[in-house]
Amino acid sequence: MNVIYLNHSGFLVETENKVLVFDYYSQGGRFDFFDPKHYTGKDIIFFVSHNHNDHFDTRILDWAGTVSYVISDETRFSSDFKGEVLYVSPHEAYQFRGMEVETLLSNDEGVAFVVEVDGKTIYHAGDLNWWHWNGESKEFNDEIAKSYQEEIQQLKGRSIDVAFIPADLRLEDKYSWATDYFMQEIGAAVVFPMHFWGRFEACTMLQEKLYGNKICSITKENQKFTF
Ligand SMILES: [Zn+2]
């Protein structure tokens, strides 16, 4: 399987028969790396975890007819949109185009995804994160801890091949908490840090901290990894 880091929380995952593109974010075309012509013969599905503009880029609508969409249901497309769309809500499971798509409830907005496809299990957090902000109230941070842990616990016992987890350095020394908790409780063969706003050092920091080669060392946009 191939994984391409596109930008921010945007990744392309290529399996035997499918191409899954999560939270595409071209930043006004600056990071517009996807081209369906590179994947002729494969079934291409875009996933949108929620409607914040760093996760939902309307650029993806240009490929309607060539690709299909799995969209968090607060992100409604206009009623005359012609593409094939599955709208999803939290804590549900769906069969769509030969995939099993399950959702968690994000503690920011929308959903996180667990997708089973071609014998692989992929977790993409969207903005579900341990959003512990230094300086926030104890009540806020306690509630965030609880909501994050409750959602991740729903994956207990699952075997995850690839996990995409926020490592947002704006959280200062707490940037790693989402990954730490996920790895302690669930685990994954491979982890891609994301939502690090171009600060690639988040990857090496996580590698050095605890998880070594399980953490993919992203160093630039459009970087490809093969497993
Ligand atoms: Zn975000």
Helices marked H in the chain: 138-153, 177-185, 201-206
User: Which pLDDT tens digit goes with each residue over 179-202?
Assistant: 999 999 999 999 999 999 999 999
Q: What is the DSSP string of 154-218?
A: TTTT---SEEEEE--GGGGGGTTHHHHHHHHHT--SEEEEE--TT-THHHHHHIIIIIGGGB---
pLDDT, tens digit (0-9, with 9 covering 90-100), for 20-30: 999 999 999 99
Q: What is the pLDDT of residue 79?
A: 81
Domains in the chain, start-ordered, CATH in brackets?
A: 2-226 (3.60.15.10)
In whole angstroms, give the CA distance from residue 182 to residue 39. Answer: 32
Residues, CB within 5 angstroms of ligand 1 (ion): 54, 127
Task: Report the separation in Å between the CA atom of 113 and the middle of ligand 1, taken as the mean of its atom positions.
Answer: 15
pLDDT single digits (tens) 138-149: 999 999 999 999
The model's pTM is 0.97
Please name which of 118, 116, 87, 88 lies closest in space to residue 104, comparing C-alpha atoms: 88
52 alpha carbon – ligand 1 mean position (Å):
7
CA of 127 from ligand 1 middle (Å) equals 5
